[in-house]
């Protein structure tokens, strides 16, 4: 498991999540890029195995190749040298709703066992304990992206039996309806990447532990999860996490540690 003190060749939790997420990206995938770790994961993939990764930002930049790490989702460096800069209406209608986005990234304050995500409120909506930022583009990304990658640190507070509010639909919603029954076009969350492990979803829409990062154990994962997490019969070996990528992240992609 990662540590927050930088040891050469030993990835931190954030670095592991970025590396593991990069592994999910294939060359030429069309990715709807969020700021922060998703952006780092994309840049890492571009610098390694997916040089032709196609990045689209909700701010309107299509085919961006930012020459600096964007400090916001609408950084001027996303515009310069993009293939196209268009309106947000086009981004949401012509790209996302049209089904052109292969991969979306989301995170959240809460995720439940069906992959539903909450970025709206902790507590009741009318009288929240914490007022979170809200959906932004999350709901429509969860609806339309053909594959959805979730990146979240795993804690009992964030991996919960039931979300206080479903901002973005996962695989099975209150009342038990599936995505298919609700007519949701995208596949929903395909992979949840945490600081300890990777979860995927079974036929019944419930999350299953399928892979541990170096240093994590089934017991440490279960201790960090707010529900009785299913575990795959056979866990896969850890993937995508390696020392050379750590160096790349630290020295080239985010030397100022804006997001790491």
Partner 1 sequence: MSKLVSMKDAIAASVHDGDSIVIDGFTHLICFAAAHEIIRQKRKNLTAIRLTPDLVYDQLIEAGCVSKLIFSWAGNPGVGGLHAMRRRTEGAGLGQLTLEEYSHFGLLSRFLAGSAGLPFWPLDNYAGSSIPGANANIKSVTCPYTGRQIATVPALRPDVAVIHCQRADDEGNAQVWGLYGSQKEVAFAAKRVIVVAEEIVPTSVIRSDPNRTLVPGLIATHVVCEPWGCHPSFVQGHYDRDNDFYVEWENVSRDPATYAKWLDEYVYGVKDRAEYMQKLGAGLMERLRKKPRMSEGVDYGY
Residues 117-136 contacting partner 1, CB under 8 A: 120, 125, 127-131, 133-136
Residue 26 found at the interface with partner 1 (CB under 8 A): no
Contact positions with partner 1 (CB under 8 A) in 235-254:
none
214 binds partner 1 (CB under 8 A): no
| Nearer of residues 159 and 165 to partner 1, judged by Cβ | 165
**60 is a site residue for partner 1 (CB under 8 A):** yes
* 58 labelled catalytic: yes
Question: Choosing from 15, 24, 58, 140, which is the catalytic residue?
Answer: 58
Across 237-254, b (16+ Cβ under 10 Å) vs e yields: ebebbbeebbebbbeebb
Which CB, 164 or 195, lies closer to partner 1? 164
Rounded least distance, CB 212 to partner 1, Å: 29
User: Is residue 18 close enough to count as binding partner 1 by CB under 8 A?
Assistant: no
Q: Beta-carbon neighbour count of residue 133 at 10 Å?
A: 10
Nearest distance, CB of residue 243 and partner 1, angstroms = 27
Site for partner 1 in 185-204 (CB under 8 A): 185
Other CB atoms within 10 Å distance of the CB of residue 145: 26
Site for partner 1 in 136-155 (CB under 8 A): 136-140, 142-144
Residue 100 engages partner 1 in binding (rule: CB under 8 A): yes
Question: Which one of residues 35, 111, 199, 248 is an interface residue with partner 1 (CB under 8 A)?
Answer: 35
Return the structure tokens found at 35.
């700021």
Sheet holding 103-106, edge to edge: 84-85, 61-62, 54-57, 30-33, 103-106, 147-151, 189-193, 197-201, 207-212, 230-236
Q: Which of 12, 14, 59, 110 binds partner 1 (CB under 8 A)?
A: 59
Can you tell me the distance from the alpha carbon of 247 to that of 159, in angstroms, rounded to the nearest whole number?
A: 30
* Catalytic residue ranges: 58
């Amino acid at each position: 498991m990662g540590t927050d003190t930088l040891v050469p060749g030993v990835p931190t939790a954030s670095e592991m999540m970025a590396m593991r997420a990069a592994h999910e990206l294939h060359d030429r995938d069309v990715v709807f890029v969020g700021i922060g770790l998703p952006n780092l994961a994309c840049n890492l993939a571009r610098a390694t195995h997916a040089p032709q990764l196609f990045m689209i930002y909700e701010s309107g930049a299509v085919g961006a190749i930012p020459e600096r790490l964007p400090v916001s989702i609408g950084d001027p460096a996303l515009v310069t040298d993009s293939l196209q800069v268009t309106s947000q209406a086009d981004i949401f209608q012509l790209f996302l709703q049209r089904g052109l986005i292969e991969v979306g990234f989301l995170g959240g304050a809460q995720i439940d066992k069906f992959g539903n995500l909450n970025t709206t409120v902790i507590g009741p909506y009318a009288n929240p304990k914490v007022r979170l930022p809200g959906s932004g583009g999350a709901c429509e990304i969860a609806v339309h992206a053909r594959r959805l990658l979730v990146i979240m640190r795993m804690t009992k507070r964030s991996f919960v039996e039931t979300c206080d509010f479903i901002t973005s639909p996962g695989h099975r919603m209150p009342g038990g309806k599936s995505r298919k029954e609700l007519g949701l076009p995208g596949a929903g969350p395909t992979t949840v990447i945490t600081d300890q492990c990777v979860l995927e979803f079974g036929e019944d829409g419930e999350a299953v532990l399928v892979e541990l990062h170096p240093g994590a154990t089934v017991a440490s994962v279960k201790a960090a999860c707010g529900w009785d997490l299913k575990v795959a019969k056979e866990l896969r070996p850890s993937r995508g996490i390696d020392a050379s990528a750590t160096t790349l992240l630290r020295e080239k992609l985010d030397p100022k540690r804006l997001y790491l």
